[in-house]
Amino acid sequence: MKFYNTLTRQKEEFVPQEKGVVRMYNCGPTVYSYPHIGNFRAFVFADVLRRYLEYRGLEVRQVMNITDVGHLVADADEGEDKLEAAARKEKKDPWQIAGYYAEIFHRIRKQLGFAEAMAFPRATEHIPEMIAIIEKLVARGHGYVVGNNVYFSVASFPSYGKLSGNLLDTLEAGARIEPHPDKKDPRDFALWKHDPKHLMQWDSPWGRGFPGWHIECSAMSMKYLGETLDIHTGGEDNIFPHHECEIAQSESATGKPFCRLWMHARFLLVNGEKMAKSAGNFFTVEDVFQRGVGPQALRYMLATSHYRQQMNFTWEGAESAKTSLERLAEFRRRLSDAHGAAPVAAVKPVVDKARKDFEAAMDDDLNISEALAAIYGLVREVNRLDPDPAAAAFVRDAFDRIDTVLNIGTAPPDVFSDDEKNLIDARAAARTTKNWAESDRLRKELEAKGVLVEDTPRGQRPRRARK
């Protein structure tokens, strides 16, 4: 398996530090508002990555953090905490805000079919771990205390900038932000902050205060996964300053490499532009659900665009995704109800090729487009061959195994109301007497209820129209 490493700017063969075990940390949501579809692009990417690593037989220890304190609205040093800003606006306390939006995040990730991570640690529950690292940094001379604040000294970490390319001597910090009077160097960032107005406060060796944003990921990743991670993921905007600062403080604290492979998902655009409320192209996950793009279709769109390529979300694309999804779901359904003649021997070479192509594609930095081509090749060939029940079962096992990665091919079983069942039965009765007019009328009536009926040599096959 080769993955592109932001740190080295090239694809590298992936070898976890411990044989067979992957320690992966995913930058998760800041729970201060409804998650938008761009947020979930990065999360779906992390899920597909995790699933593929498992497909390849690795044990994945996956941790995704929930940021519920410290992430400021304006800039890294001043300004209001995102949670507190939301709290003020909604007239709730920040704990309620965090709880509410964290719950929504979890609900959506389940709807989108995410594999369960090992842990979803929350920043507010790891304050002691953060304080411990900050103390270590101060003791080692990488952090300094000014009044009740603690800052990280960027100058003490010469390789600062290795991830983002924003090297120290070219970084013009303070160019757009007013330099903070307490800082020795405008590029230094806060580890611990004192602000009497802040609603979330904890005791610390430096007095009551709250942690800086970057320190949470260092503390929580090390707690759950150890001092050196195999993989760290996030959105491309995390590269700088967030991940750059994580590296600086983590490596300064431990003296060990913090993470070996950094993977970043590029932004999702809407109509070719970055999502922004002012541009009117900002969609939360709930928004797209309400506009008829269901969880599976959204997952399909997010999972089948290459993570390292900007993705352009359009409603036309969403419709296309729904159709494609339906085709896969139909294929999968048919494999459990096959009546063809092709034996296993006929179908096996097709399956073997699809599997081989799929793996080769995914091994190459998750080349999802190529992988999908392999899947559609399988679909087309198997449909053409028309397998017998044993062959269909053989294909089904292979398809399901491949789909453990993308998790897009299985359709929920169709459920029909009593009313719908009655109509279906009535139509079957009409058909026995070749009453086509009544049959067509009932088909239309069912269609209006979202039930599509197909006639096959073995009778009717009703199914729900998909969203």
Determine the size of the site formed for RNA (CB under 7 A).
81
Q: How far is the CB of 68 from RNA (least distance, A)?
A: 12
Residue 183: which residues within 8 A CB-CB, separation 6 or more?
77, 146, 151
Near RNA by CB under 7 A: residue from 275, 350, 395, 423: 275
Query: For RNA, which stretch binds (CB under 7 A), given 143-151, 170-178, 285-293, 392-400?
Result: 170-178
φ, ψ for residue 48 (rounded to 5)?
Answer: -65, -40
Near RNA by CB under 7 A: residue from 8, 159, 290, 309: 309
| Cα–Cα distance, 184 to 347 (Å, whole number) | 69
Take residue 120 and report the two structure tokens written for it.
Answer: 């979803």
Among 341, 384, 377, 339, CA closest to 360:
377
Among 185, 240, 191, 235, CA closest to 214:
191
Read off the DSSP letter of residue 243.
Answer: I
* Kind and range of the H or E run holding 229: strand 229-235
What does 293-341 look like in DSSP terms, one character per residue? --HHHHHHHHHTS-TTS-EEE-HHHHHHHHHHHHHHHHHHHHHTS----
φ, ψ for residue 347 (rounded to 5)?
Answer: -90, -25
Residue 5 lies near RNA (rule: CB under 7 A): no
Residue 442 lies near RNA (rule: CB under 7 A): no
Query: For RNA, which stretch binds (CB under 7 A), given 69-77, 109-117, 196-204, 347-355?
Result: 69-77
Tell how strand 189-193 and strand 149-152 pair up.
antiparallel
Question: For residue 202, what are the β-bridge partners?
Answer: 209
Site for RNA in 362-401 (CB under 7 A): 364, 367, 369-370, 372-373, 376-377, 379-380, 383-384
**Per-residue contact flags (x/-) with RNA for residues 235 to 254, judged by CB under 7 A:** xxxxxxxx------------
Largest Cα span, the chain: 90
453 three-class SS: strand
Site for RNA in 31-60 (CB under 7 A): 36, 38-39, 41-42
Q: How far is the CB of 431 from RNA (least distance, A)?
A: 6
Site for RNA in 84-103 (CB under 7 A): none
For tokens 């928004």, name the residue: 287
Closer by beta carbon to RNA, 135 or else 365: 365
Query: For RNA, which stretch binds (CB under 7 A), given 204-212, 220-228, 271-279, 402-410?
Result: 271-279
Q: How far is the CB of 251 from RNA (least distance, A)?
A: 20
123 three-class SS: helix
Near RNA by CB under 7 A: residue from 17, 292, 360, 436: 436
Q: How far is the CB of 306 from RNA (least distance, A)?
A: 4
**Per-residue contact flags (x/-) with RNA for residues 324 to 343, judged by CB under 7 A:** x--x--xx--x---------
Residue 311 lies near RNA (rule: CB under 7 A): yes
Residue 364: which residues within 8 A CB-CB, separation 6 or more?
2, 11, 370
Closer by beta carbon to RNA, 76 or else 215: 76
Closer by beta carbon to RNA, 367 or else 404: 367
Q: How far is the CB of 66 from RNA (least distance, A)?
A: 11
For residues 392 and 340, the answer to whether their CB atoms sit within 8 Å is yes
Read off the DSSP letter of residue 284.
Answer: B
Q: How far is the CB of 139 from RNA (least distance, A)?
A: 27
Query: For RNA, which stretch binds (CB under 7 A), given 66-74, 111-119, 224-232, 410-418?
Result: 66-74
For tokens 């806060």, name the residue: 190
Q: How far is the CB of 295 from RNA (least distance, A)?
A: 18
For tokens 């506009």, name the residue: 291
Residue 65 lies near RNA (rule: CB under 7 A): no
Closer by beta carbon to RNA, 58 or else 311: 311
